Amino acid sequence: MPLDLAQRTTFEKSLYTPWIFNEMIRPVLYLQNHNDPEAVHEDVLNTVGEEDVIDIFRKNQRLFQAPENLRITLNGRRLTPFGTAAGMDKNGDALLAFSYVFGFQETGTVVVNPREGNKRPRVATDNKKEDLYNAQGFPSRGLSYFKTNLANLRDVRGKPDSCDEFNPSTLQKYPLVYVSICGLPMSEENAIDIAMKETETLVRELELGSDAFVWNPFSPNTATLTKLRTPQIFKETAELIKKYSPAKLLLVKMGPYEDNDTERKQYLDLVSGFLEGGGHGVVAVNTKMFPKEQIPAKDWGYPSGGRSGRFLKPYRMRAVSETRKAFPNAVIFATGGIYDGNDAYETFKSGATALEGYTPYTFHGLGLLPRIQRRVAERLRKDGYKNLEELQLEARHGANLVA
Ligand SMILES: Cc1cc2nc3c(=O)[nH]c(=O)nc-3n(C[C@H](O)[C@H](O)[C@H](O)COP(=O)(O)O)c2cc1C
């Protein structure tokens, strides 16, 4: 339903003042959607897809443009290194709206066949700690639905070969879409073959409109995916994706690991396999599984749930710094509870190439993004760096010295 004038004005103000989202808009959304966080999220995605809301983003896009000294060059493109994390827009419904907001979007995870996922309710919030729990079980509208949304975005905002790079005078910016994909075996039988076949289909079908692929074998609620988590399968999957998409950025989504040698080695061996197969790096970290008893929701209907948000910080920081140390030249996209600019800055300093977010925006709205960017720019200035790339070079150099 189109927003009325008062709603439009409040929403527009929240982009400049995040507490308006947290304290005024969010409670109303929860009231209207019977306290179901997933229904709230769907409501928001529907609303941001409306022409009048897209207009608000278009009109205010300057607010979200990072200053030049925050932009980086990655795989031949200029990139503002702040984007959405996978799951926030699983089916590409908000690609156009978010293209005026984020430097890039990691959209999906897209699977070949439409899936309902688990029964609802399957998402819960912890409002005090600002964490989310989910047991969605990979719901998706499937490849052809997503492909139509991607094609629509390209029709409106231009295709790679017809678009110039960012042009500050016109604010024309070619929107970067990184597609999270997963070949999804439904049973143990032939699981690896099916996963490979579906991954190939996804890459061939989406190669034209996407700027990067992120392979996601780490959905925590999907048991058959565990079969894919060996260094050899990581290598073969990277090789397969490279075969059909040789020039594009290729990352793998990684789950969190504990601070012990066994889990660290398992994590680094998987990353090593992926890089050996031609992948460029990782997105770290995915949600962390928690047992039902620890989930602060009445009648949670699943034995466990994946937790995201603030509490992921130590897992994210560990994965970033240890990946950087082991693989100084890897591309590292960091996600997991990045709520403020100081945290973002420290994550870059530990070796991150770019940052993604999902849970923080569900609590504070999109007005969080310009705040984070401004603070990172301030910290760079204060610490005497000309730009973000200088800080990143230093992080890589430091890793080279200790590697
Ligand atoms: C409800 C929900 C759904 C998610 N779905 C996906 C998904 O489809 N694919 C994926 O790679 N990650 C998915 N994630 C994980 C996020 O991409 C991210 O790794 C994690 O939430 C930590 O970041 P955050 O604290 O900024 O949310 C999902 C997270 C949530 C909360």
pLDDT digit string, tens, across residues 78-93: 889 999 999 999 999 9
Could you report the per-residue pLDDT of 106-126, keeping only the tens digit for each?
A: 999 999 999 999 999 999 999
Which is more confidently placed, 383 or 191? 383
For residue 299, how far is its CA from the centre of ligand 1 (angstroms)? 22
- Residues having CB closer than 6 A to ligand 1 are 85-87, 90, 109, 123, 132, 134, 136, 180, 216, 253, 286-287, 308-309, 312, 335-337, 357-360
Q: What is the pLDDT of residue 118?
A: 92
Rg of the chain over all Cα atoms, to the nearest angstrom:
20
Query: What does the block give as tokens for 59?
Result: 């009109």
Which atom of ligand 1 is the closest one to the Cα of 38? 1
With beta carbons less than 8 A apart as the criterion, state whether 357 and 81 touch: no
> Average pLDDT for residues 142-155, to the nearest whole number?
95
Mean pLDDT of the chain: 91
Neighbours of 386 (CB within 10 A): 10
pLDDT > 50? residue 170: no
Q: How far apart (Å, rounded) are the C-alpha atoms in residues 129 and 397?
A: 36
Q: How far apart (Å, rounded) are the C-alpha atoms in residues 113 and 195?
A: 12
Query: What does the block give as tokens for 216?
Result: 């996601």
N-terminal to C-terminal alpha carbon distance within the chain: 55
Q: What is the pLDDT of residue 100?
A: 94
> Average pLDDT for residues 266-280, to the nearest whole number?
98
Query: What does the block give as tokens for 24?
Result: 């005024």
The pTM assigned to this predicted structure is: 0.95
> Average pLDDT for residues 17-33, to the nearest whole number?
94
Q: How far apart (Å, rounded) are the C-alpha atoms in residues 6 and 30?
A: 19
Q: What is the pLDDT of residue 164?
A: 45
Could you report the per-residue pLDDT of 5-22, keeping only the tens digit for each?
A: 888 899 999 999 999 999
Q: What is the pLDDT of residue 173?
A: 62
Q: What is the pLDDT of residue 285?
A: 97
Q: What is the pLDDT of residue 225?
A: 80
Q: What is the pLDDT of residue 221?
A: 62
Q: Which residues contact 237 (CB under 8 A, 6 or more apart)?
A: 195, 196, 199, 215, 217, 228, 252, 274, 277
> Average pLDDT for residues 67-72, to the nearest whole number?
91
Pocket residue to mutate for ligand 1, from 123, 136, 286, most atoms within 8 A of Cβ: 286
Residues above pLDDT 70, as percent of the chain: 94
The pLDDT-based confidence of 390 (bands split at 50, 70, 90) is very high
Could you report the per-residue pLDDT of 322-366, keeping only the tens digit for each?
A: 999 999 999 999 999 999 999 999 999 999 999 999 999 999 999
- Give the DSSP letter of residue 294: G
Neighbours of 227 (CB within 10 A): 14
Q: What is the pLDDT of residue 1?
A: 60
pLDDT > 50? residue 162: no
For residue 356, how far is its CA from the centre of ligand 1 (angstroms)? 10
For residue 288, how far is its CA from the centre of ligand 1 (angstroms)? 10
Please identify, in words, the CATH class of the domain defined by 62-402.
Answer: alpha beta
- Give the DSSP letter of residue 55: H
How does strand 131-134 pair with strand 288-291?
Answer: unpaired
Q: What is the pLDDT of residue 159?
A: 63
Neighbours of 12 (CB within 10 A): 18
> Average pLDDT for residues 262-281, to the nearest whole number?
98
Which atom of ligand 1 is the closest one to the Cα of 337? 25
Pocket residue to mutate for ligand 1, from 42, 251, 358, 359, most atoms within 8 A of Cβ: 358
pLDDT > 70? residue 220: no
pLDDT > 60? residue 273: yes
For residue 125, how far is its CA from the centre of ligand 1 (angstroms)? 14
For residue 381, how far is its CA from the centre of ligand 1 (angstroms)? 32
Q: What is the pLDDT of residue 163?
A: 46
